[in-house]
Amino acid sequence: MNGRSTPPGPWSRGPGGFGLPPLTPAPRDLVVLLAVVFVTFSLQFFAGARLVPLLLRLTPEVWQSGFVWQVATYPFSGYGPPSIWILLELLILYWFARDVYYRLGRRRFWRTLVTVAVAAGAAAVAVELVVRLATSGGAPDGLGAPGGTTSVPFGLMQGQRTLLAFSIAAFATLNRQATILLFFVLPIQARWFLWLEVLFAFIAFLATKDLAGFVGLVVVVGGTYSVLTAGGPGRMLRDWRLRAEKLRIERQLGRERRKRNLRVLEGGGRDGGRGRPGEPGKPHKGPWVH
């Protein structure tokens, strides 16, 4: 947070008891984000404007018509039936996202959000393609139909649902020891919300059978944790590359050792394995491999 301490979140508790919402200014970026989500949510109920949110949402048009931008724009298109619930979702989103925004800063906040959202969208599309190919017998023309699925694809991760999953996962990662009031009543340490999000997504999957949406939410939670704990997408990719390189070298050395029947001798030091002074007969292990 640029060197400043972050005030407790609206549902966090410190040693002194439950905290109230901090009196910090609302980040302009979040105000714009909430406005965009609410406007696109409202547009879906007007015949002349519903095309706008449909073009932004993640749909099978990604592979049917080449609407690849939907992999990145779907979090910003409000989703759901006309209900007062949308206001509560946006309020919870603001509470968590504000804390995350101040902790990460503007640039890192948006970079992390976009990286995780695109990864989740790509994973969901891949899963939906596999499901449709499997249920349609592998026929290409089966991609345009539901392919045996009984749910609207990607519904679990559309719009504010991905934003909520990201914000809560980021808050839980950055404030692992904070306490959040689940349902405003039950105090739970923030770190457990990573698993609770996956559990809630699984329960929603059981009701909707939206496998692609469920996988997308799991990628959002896991990707957010991975990016934030690894220090950013670049560092995370660099760590993965170094680990893969280390594994490749170890396997190559193992093959060479087996091929040449190499073994490590206990001796090989300056004394030629004859033992150290005062320790007759005790070999001195050298660094060489024979």
CATH number for the domain that contains residue 159? 1.20.1540
| Nearest Cα residue to 75 out of 156, 161, 155 | 161
Within a domain: residue 245? no
Q: Are residues 83 and 124 in the same domain?
A: yes
Q: How far apart are CA 219 and CA 206, in angstroms?
A: 18
Q: Are residues 176 and 276 in the same domain?
A: no
**Could you tell me the mean pLDDT of each successive run of 10 residues in the chain, 290 residues long?**
42 38 76 95 91 92 92 93 90 91 92 95 93 71 40 86 94 81 68 87 91 94 90 60 78 74 55 51 50
Q: Are residues 178 and 280 in the same domain?
A: no
Within a domain: residue 255? no
Within a domain: residue 10? no
Mean pLDDT of the chain: 78
Within a domain: residue 5? no
Is residue 197 within 8 A of residue 218, CB to CB? The reply is no
| Other beta carbons within 10 Å of 184 | 7
Provide the pLDDT for residue 100.
92
Provide the pLDDT for residue 3.
39
Provide the pLDDT for residue 16.
32
In terms of residue numbers, what domain contains 282? 263-290
Within a domain: residue 80? yes
Within a domain: residue 163? yes
How far from chain centre, in Å, is Cα 176?
16
Q: How far apart are CA 57 and CA 118, in angstroms?
A: 13
Within a domain: residue 256? no
Q: How many domains, the chain?
A: 2
Q: Are residues 271 and 235 in the same domain?
A: no
Q: Are residues 270 and 229 in the same domain?
A: no
Q: Are residues 214 and 285 in the same domain?
A: no
Q: Are residues 138 and 218 in the same domain?
A: yes
Q: Are residues 125 and 183 in the same domain?
A: yes
Q: Are residues 28 and 139 in the same domain?
A: yes
Provide the pLDDT for residue 280.
52
Provide the pLDDT for residue 150.
44
Q: Are residues 226 and 270 in the same domain?
A: no
Q: Are residues 217 and 92 in the same domain?
A: yes
Q: Are residues 233 and 275 in the same domain?
A: no
Provide the pLDDT for residue 216.
94
Within a domain: residue 66? yes
Q: How far apart are CA 199 and CA 188, in angstroms?
A: 15
